[in-house]
Amino acid sequence: MDEPVLLTGAGGRVGQAILRGIGDDYEWRLLDREPLPAAKVPAGVTDADRYVADITDERAVREAVADVGAVIHLAGDPRKTAPWDSVLRNNIDGAQVVMRAAAEAGVERFAFASSNHAVGGYETEDRTPDLYRPDDDYRLDGTELPRPGNLYGVSKAAGESLGRFYHDEFGMSVVCVRIGNLTRDHPPREYERGQAMWLSHRDCAHLFDRCLRADYDYEVVYGISNNDRRYYSLERAREALGYDPADNSADYTFEGKPKDDGDSDTDGEYVDDPDVTTDDTPAEPNFPTDPDAPSDGA
């Protein structure tokens, strides 16, 4: 791709996983609500390509999106316990501003960071915990309707609908990635749900690289690694994008240690969604620290 790529929410966990993985492969414009420290910015990104702005600032977003070839939109309130006024402003209004600016600017590809929380309501009491185990064949494949598990999930479902609208009305290629549980170096420890929807940093960068390179119309895909434990299908991501994930939570013990270190595996027991992040990166810088920080969504 010859044109720049605009990455919103560049300082967050997903943005940093992308930039660490493919930061040298594209010309970037980075947008975040806070100035990014040098350690979070790839070499070659000039001050002129860094935008400090709120995504509801229409003028700033139009400036940032001018003449780019693609947008990866991550910015928003990532807390699964975020109140309605915040998800409305930051996640729904913000997505609308960015998508409209991109469509009107003639952007070719738009990758929207949706979330597993857009379909969290499918995890019913009669399906869990078996749903999270390798021998269960239940799969969500992206063709199902959203079934949010919280207001954060509602906002992501709304973003998917906005993407459908801007594809149909403007012909912009839009892919909505329902991101699972992103952690670095190992899958979530002693947490079946997290291991079923694990997305490694390496696979995250590869997936969004495919979002920038593939030809597609409107797609909803799942962003997880190639886990034996999974209830999200990877078929559409493979077929539409050419996604080929390298990592698998089954290569680690239930305690999160690589099996090739000589540790034996254990299935472990189902545990409730922990109230702490399983990632060792700091909380999102743009919003207050939340004791129920989202370890399992974008």
pLDDT for the residue 216: 98
- Integer Cα distance of 218 and 224 in angstroms: 19
State the binding site for NAD(+).
Answer: 90, 115, 152, 156
pTM of the complete model: 0.89
pLDDT for the residue 1: 72
- Integer Cα distance of 268 and 229 in angstroms: 13
pLDDT for the residue 281: 37
pLDDT for the residue 250: 97
C-alpha closest to that of 172 among 185, 186, 187, 162: 162
Is the bond leading into 42 cis (omega within 30 degrees of zero)? no
Q: Which two tokens stand for residue 245?
A: 């994930």
pLDDT for the residue 271: 38
**Is residue 177 classed as helix, strand or coil in its secondary structure?**
strand
Contact 269, 195 (CB under 8 A): no
Angle at 72 between CA 289 and CA 207, to 5 degrees: 95
State the binding site.
Answer: 90, 115, 152, 156
- Integer Cα distance of 22 and 1 in angstroms: 13
C-alpha closest to that of 163 among 210, 209, 118: 118
pLDDT for the residue 278: 39
Query: What are the residues facing 29 on neighbouring strands?
Result: 6
What is the H or E stretch that residue 5 is in? Answer: strand 5-8
pLDDT for the residue 139: 97
**Set 26, 132, 152, 218: catalytic member:** 152
Q: Which domains does the chain have, with CATH numbers?
A: 5-261 (3.40.50.720)
Is 233 exposed, middle or buried (CB count within 10 Å of its CB: 0-12, 13-18, 19+)?
middle
C-alpha closest to that of 184 among 277, 51, 80, 65: 277
Low-confidence ranges of the chain (pLDDT < 50): 262, 264-297
Q: Answer positive or negative: Cα dihedral of 206, 218, 148, 84.
A: positive
Q: Which two tokens stand for residue 208?
A: 């969004």
Catalytic site includes residue 231: no
- Sort strands 218-223 and 198-200 into parallel, antiparallel or unpaired: unpaired
Give pLDDT tens digits for 53-100: 999 999 999 999 999 999 999 999 999 999 999 999 999 999 999 999
